[in-house]
Amino acid sequence: MTLQERDYAVIWHPFTHQKNRKPPMPIVKGQGTLLFDEAGNQYIDAISSWWVTIHGHGNRYIAERLYKQALTLEQVIFAGFTHEPAVSLAERLLPILPNNFSRIFYSDNGSTSTEVAIKMSLQYWWNEKALTVNGLPLTEGGDQRSTVNGQRTKLLAFKDAYHGDTFGAMSVSDRSVFTLAFHDKLFEVLFIDTPNETNIEELKELINNEGDAIAAFIYEPLVQGAGGMRMYEAQWMDELLKTVKAQDIICIADEVMTGFGRTGKLFASEYMTEKPDIICMSKGLTGGTMALGVTACTDRIYQAYLSDDKMKTFFHGHSFTANPLACTAALASMDLLLKEECLGKIQWISEENKLFATKLSTLHSRLSTKNIRVLGTIIAFEIDEGKDEYLNDIATSITQKALELGVYIRPLGNTVYIMPPYCITKEELEKVYETILMMID
């Protein structure tokens, strides 16, 4: 049996309609920006394998660090124990994050990093309002504590948001066909539009009215990824954040996609002067080699958990919390990312993207592309064909066509985007652009 046939018999793939599914492509090797299939064909991975592979595939430096760590300590329980990679990574992350963050909480993917942030901020308000008798916890009637008057319990999020697939993360994400089967199980969230010149005053008014009931505001800074690479401007986001912060609402920046250079800066939150209280990271964190999630918080959040009341403990963790291999991969990825060479490549891709966007827009009417936008290493536009549907078949045909030309892209509905590994060469990037032009034709 071929790999495809064996797969067909036993595997259930993510985000994949299973009936009449096309056989998945067997990939046997990855090197730099290239993926190789069984037949020896090569494809430029122009979306960094779902936005994670920032230094390319098969990176020798990361691989060697992983190998050494695997022989030293591959895993250990993280409650009551610690290890060098976890501590070193926290020490290296904290100073480069866009605010004065004081604590790193580990989990194991992007969804769990946002899930942790949601729980952390809800419990922050619960802890603040938690009833104690003479400084001692109420051991009975725990239920009463969750209905304390005046406790903030609402969450604020953007329409078209995507924060992951676990229940909390789904709740604060856009309600769509992807979450339809669970709508009655998702908690209530106040959804607002992303800010712009025309709606900013209205948004500020709404937040000023509802503010004292809102526990936290979760947002993807400047680019809504899975929602269709929708971009919005830092200027209006700053105004919105100012209002949100004035209402004492905890700000959670979901930088799972935007972190580690994607938007041209190390973190997209750097584009705003108003900074988050909690920041979520994953995807590029380990250079795309291992699953790891990080939720960082400021001291204000952490202090709410420092109490003699044991009920104020943050009861959350995963078997693979702070896995030493994953932390080591993140440390190695950070070495590579912070080198002049890599930071320079990020700027170079950003400049090339701008030039290509200009070129695309001059061909606009002929190519029926619209809404061409760039932020750092991300470029996105819609192929105009009537409907804006994620389930649209156009994505499949574009993917197929591009593959035939040696480039892997995976449009979100009719939204075509590229998000290449930073190690992409001049020739490869040109090939990606040319493929897009040919494909549109």
Ligand X SMILES: *Cc1c(COP(=O)(O)O)cnc(C)c1O
Which residues would be at the binding site for ligand X (CB under 6 A)? 109-111, 114, 162-164, 220, 225-226, 254, 256-257, 282
CB of 369 to ligand X, least distance (A): 24
DSSP label at residue 212: G
CB of 280 to ligand X, least distance (A): 7
Residues whose CB is less than 8 angstroms from the CB of residue 433 and which lie 6 or more positions away in sequence, other chains included: 352, 356, 359
The three-state secondary structure class of 371 is: strand
Shorter beta-carbon distance to ligand X: residue 45 or 428 = 45
Residue matched to tokens 């994050």: 97
Q: Identify which of 68, 80, 164 has the alpha carbon closest to the alpha carbon of residue 117.
A: 164
CA distance linking residue 117 with residue 212, whole number of Å = 19
- State the DSSP string of 289-314: SS--EEEEEEHHHHHTT-SS-GGGS-
Shorter beta-carbon distance to ligand X: residue 14 or 95 = 14
Shorter beta-carbon distance to ligand X: residue 163 or 230 = 163
CB of 50 to ligand X, least distance (A): 7
Contact 255, 281 (CB under 8 A): yes
Shorter beta-carbon distance to ligand X: residue 297 or 304 = 297
Contact 135, 308 (CB under 8 A): yes
- Dig out the tokens for 177 from the structure: 């066909």
CA distance linking residue 276 with residue 427, whole number of Å = 38
CA distance linking residue 132 with residue 397, whole number of Å = 61
52 backbone dihedrals φ, ψ, rounded to 5°: -105, -35
Shorter beta-carbon distance to ligand X: residue 174 or 428 = 174
What is the b/e burial string over 145-156, where b = at least 16 CB atoms within 10 angstroms of the residue's CB? beeeeebbbbbb
Shorter beta-carbon distance to ligand X: residue 126 or 162 = 162
Shorter beta-carbon distance to ligand X: residue 220 or 277 = 220
Query: Strand pairing of 415-418 and 27-31?
Result: unpaired
The three-state secondary structure class of 105 is: strand
The residue number with the shortest CB distance to ligand X is 110
Amino acid symbol at 79: A
Shorter beta-carbon distance to ligand X: residue 110 or 168 = 110
Residue matched to tokens 């409650």: 79
Shorter beta-carbon distance to ligand X: residue 257 or 379 = 257
Contact 326, 333 (CB under 8 A): no
Amino acid symbol at 217: F
Residues whose CB is less than 8 angstroms from the CB of residue 415 and which lie 6 or more positions away in sequence, other chains included: 228, 229, 380, 381, 382
Compute the residue count for the chain. Answer: 441
Shorter beta-carbon distance to ligand X: residue 304 or 327 = 327
Query: Strand pairing of 34-37 and 42-45?
Result: antiparallel
Shorter beta-carbon distance to ligand X: residue 122 or 256 = 256
> What is the C-alpha R_g of the chain?
23
CB of 105 to ligand X, least distance (A): 16
CB of 24 to ligand X, least distance (A): 18
